[in-house]
Amino acid sequence: MRTFRDAVVLYAAPFLCAGLLFGAQPTVQDAKKFLDDADKKLFDLSLESSQASWVQSTYITDDSEALAAKASERAIAESVRLAKGAVRFDHVKLPPDMARKMMLLKNGLVLAAPANPAESAEVTRLAASLEGTYGKGKYCPEGGKPCMDIEAVTRVLANSQNPAELLDAWRGWHTISPPMRKDFQRFVELSNKGARELGFKDTGAMWRSKYDMPADDFAKEVDRLWLQVRPLYLSLHAYVRNKLREKYGPDVVPANGPIPAHLLGNIWAQDWSNVYKMVAPADTDPGYDLTQILKSRDTKPLDMVHYGESFFTSLGFAPLPPTFWQRSMFTKPRDRDVVCHASAWDVDSLEDLRVKLCLDITEEDFITIHHELGHNFYQRAYNKQPFLFRDSANDGFHEAIGDTIALSVTPEYLVKIGLLDKAPDASKDIGLLLARALEKVSFLPFGLMIDQWRWKVFSGEVTPEQYNKAWWDLRLKYQGVVPPMDRPESYFDPGAKYHVAANVPYTRYFLSFIMQFQFHRALAAAAGCPAGSATPLHRCSIYNNKDAGKKLNAMLEMGESRPWQDAMYEITGQRQVDATAILDYFAPLQKWLDEQNKGKPVGW
C-alpha cells in the first residue's frame, strides 16, 4: 500500500518562524490557522507526489524517475515550513485533535532529507533510483537463454521441485541487487543526517516514533509479540524441515539445522504456501484447489478484481468508482518495465483509488486482490477526515485490514460466490490450517527481521562492511533459514527485497499479521461466530454480514484521528495488540504439528 507519507521527503532546513524570531507568544487561533493551511497545502503536495510516483512505478524510465524525484523536491519547501513551524506550538495548550495534528506533522515521516540543498536533491534521486533499479531487475542466464523478470523467477520457485533449477532462479534474482549497494550506503548516510536534524537519533528511531508510544517501548512491544508466537513458528519450521528432508534428502536438508532458503517456494522464503503439496500428508488435503478452479472457469484478471469488490459491497460498502477500473494496472504491460509489487493507491486522497498489480490466475493472487482492495476501502472510509488524519491508525492497521478480509476467503465464502459446490467437511480442517499457516505463520519472523536489520544499519551497529553477513545472521536467528550458497559482502541480498530498495518500513507487516487475527476474531463474533461456537474461527467468513461491516467501517472512518489504541478498542474491545487470536486460530494445527514432530528435533 502506498501513501503520501511513504513517498514524501521532508527537508530539514534551519527555520525560524516570525513568531519565534520576534518572541511573540503563539495562540490557539494561530495554531488553528497554521493547521488549516497545512491541510490544504499537504493535500496539493500529495496529489502531485502521488501522480509522479504512479508514473514512476508503471512507466519505469530515467525520465519518470527524475520527475518523481523532482516532485519530492517540490514538496520540500512547504514540508520544511510545516514541520519546523509545528515546533513553534510545542508549549501551547491545544485541543486534542490539534495537538495530534502537530504530532503527526513532526513524526509522520519515512524519509527526512538533510538541510543541504545538494544533499536533499541527492537523497530524493537515490530513493527513486533504488526503487527503479529493483523494478527493472532481471536475471539473464548464460547461454543465450531469455532473461527472467521477477514474475518469471517467482513462477520457477513456486512450481519447480528440481533443486538445481531452484538454486539457479534464486541466485539469479539476487544478482539484481549488488549494483544497489553503493547507492544504499549513501542513502543511509543522508537519511540519517536528515533524521538527526529533526531531533531523532537516526532514521530507525524516527520510524519507531510513529506508534503513539516512546520508540524504545515500541521495540520492546515487538519483542513481546514475537515471543508469544515463536513456539508456533518453531513447530511449523520443524515439520516443514522434516518433509523437505524426505523430499530432497539429508545432503540437502539437515535433520536439526536451518532450511536452505531456495527450497521454500518463494524468493525470500517469506511465504511457504507453494510447498504445501510437498509437505502435506495425503489425509490433510484441504479438499479443493482454488487455482485449478479459477483456471477451469477461464477466470480473467478483472474477474478476480470483481470478486474482491463484491466482498466489500456485501458488507454494505459502496462500489468502487469508475475511475478505479479506468486507471488501475491489473496485469503486466508487454511494452515497458513496471514495478509489479502489488500495491493500493489513493492518488487524490478522495476518490481516485487504484491498484497496481501483475495478476496471475492463482489462489495467491485471488487472496492478494482481496487484500489490496481492503486498503482502497479503508482509504475511502477516512476521506472525510482532515487531510492530516487520512491514514490508518498506524501503518500496521492498513496492512491488517486487507489481510483481515483475506481471512474470510474460506470454503464457505467460496461456496457462496459459486466457486465451490460445497465446503469440505471438518476432516479437512488440518489441511486448511496447514495451508494458511504456510502463508501466515511462516511470514512472522521475516516480517520482524527486515527492520531489525535496517534499525541496526541506521544506528551504525551494522556497518556497510557487514551488510550481507548481518542480513543472513538475522535470517538464521529469526527464520532458521540459510542461503543455499556462500554470500560474501560483494553481494547485497537485502536489496533483492522490494521494501528495502523502496525504503518502505516493514515492521508494519509483522504487526499486521498478528492484528489481522485479532480483528478477524472480533468481526467473526459480530458475524455470529463467537469463540466456542459451532463454526470455528478458521471457517468463519464475514462475507455478506452487515453487522460486521458496520463494526469494521466505524473503525475505518476514524483514520488516524486518534491514537491507534482507540481504533483497536473500537473494533476489538482491547487496547493492546494481542497474539492470542492467532494462537487460537491455529490451536488445532499446533496440536497436530507437535504430534508429527514428536521425537524429532525442533529448532536449529
Strands 353-356 and 259-260: unpaired
**SS percent in the chain: helix, strand, coil, step 5:** 60, 5, 35
- For 488-498, how does the pLDDT look when each residue is reduced to its tens digit (9 = 90+)? 999 999 999 99
DSSP 85-107: HHHTTTTS---HHHHHHHHHHHH
| Region 70-78 average pLDDT | 67
Instruction: End-to-end CA distance of the chain: give it in Å, rounded.
Output: 34
Give residues with Cβ within 8 angstroms of 98, minimum separation 6. 28, 31, 32, 35
What would the mean pLDDT of 587-594 be, rounded to a whole number? 96
Q: Is 91 a catalytic residue?
A: no
Does residue 318 carry a catalytic annotation? Answer: no
The answer to whether residue 239 scores a pLDDT higher than 50 is: yes
Output the pLDDT for position 182.
Answer: 97
What integer is the mean pLDDT of 539-562?
96
pLDDT at 187 over 90: yes
pLDDT digits (tens, 9 = 90+) for 137-149: 999 998 878 999 9
Q: Which residue has the cell 524519509?
A: 111
Active site residue 467: no
Reading the block at residue 64, the C-alpha cell is: 519518470
- Catalytic residue of the set 174, 262, 370, 375: 375
β 9-11/111-113 pair status: parallel
Residue 7: name the closest of 259, 355, 294, 343 by CA.
Answer: 343
d(CA 574, CA 10): 34
Q: Which one is predicted more confidently, 113 or 10?
A: 113
At 553 the pLDDT is 97
Of the residues 174, 237, 262, 341, only one is catalytic, namely 341
Q: How confident is the model at residue 74 (pLDDT cuts 50, 70, 90)?
A: low
Distances (CA, A) of 178 to 181, 229, 494: 5, 34, 9
Instruction: Please confirm, yes or no, whether 399 is among the known catalytic residues.
Output: yes
User: Within 10 Å of residue 20's Cβ, how many Cβ atoms?
Assistant: 14
If we measure between CA atoms, which residue out of 474, 340, 498, 366 comes closest to residue 420?
366
Q: Could you say which of 174, 371, 398, 520 is catalytic? A: 371
Tell me what pLDDT residue 526 has.
94
Rg (CA), the chain: 24
pLDDT greater than 90 at residue 199: no
pLDDT of 19 reads: 40
Express each pLDDT in 88-135 by its tens digit: 898 999 999 999 999 998 887 788 888 888 998 899 899 999 999 999
Tell me the C-alpha distance between 239 and 327, whole Å: 44
pLDDT of residue 426: 85
Q: At what angle do helices 363-381 and 546-556 cross, to 10 degrees?
A: 60
CB 208 within 8 A of CB 218: yes
Report the relative pairing of strands 353-356 and 343-346 from DSSP bridges.
antiparallel
Residues 551, 526: contact at Cβ < 8 Å? yes
Confidence (pLDDT) at 532: 65
CA contacts within 13 A on the Cβ side of 109: 32
* pLDDT given for residue 554 in this prediction: 96
* Confidence (pLDDT) at 283: 79
**Catalytic residue (one of 509, 520, 526, 567):** 509
Work out the average pLDDT over 334-350. 90
Note the pTM of the prediction, 2 decimals. 0.87
Mean pLDDT of 262-289: 91
User: pLDDT > 90: what percent of the chain?
Assistant: 77
Average pLDDT, the chain: 91
For 173-188, give one letter per residue: b (16+ CB within 10 A) or e. Answer: bbebbeebbebbeebb
Residue of 456 and 2 predicted with greater confidence: 456
Confidence of residue 13 (pLDDT cuts 50, 70, 90): very low
Residue 8's pLDDT is: 46
Choose the catalytic residue: 499, 557, 569, 587.
499
Q: What is the mean pLDDT of residues 341-345?
A: 91
Higher pLDDT, 252 or 427: 252
Angstrom distance (rounded) from CA 4 to CA 22:
34
- Which range among 9-18, 58-67, 302-311, 478-487 shows the weakest confidence by mean pLDDT? 9-18
Active-site residue flag, 342: yes
Q: Which residues pair with 346 in a beta bridge?
A: 353
pLDDT at position 14, please?
30
pLDDT at 84 over 80: no
Q: Return the C-alpha torsion angle 262, 266, 272, 275, nearest 10.
A: -70
Is 341 noted as a catalytic residue in this protein?
yes
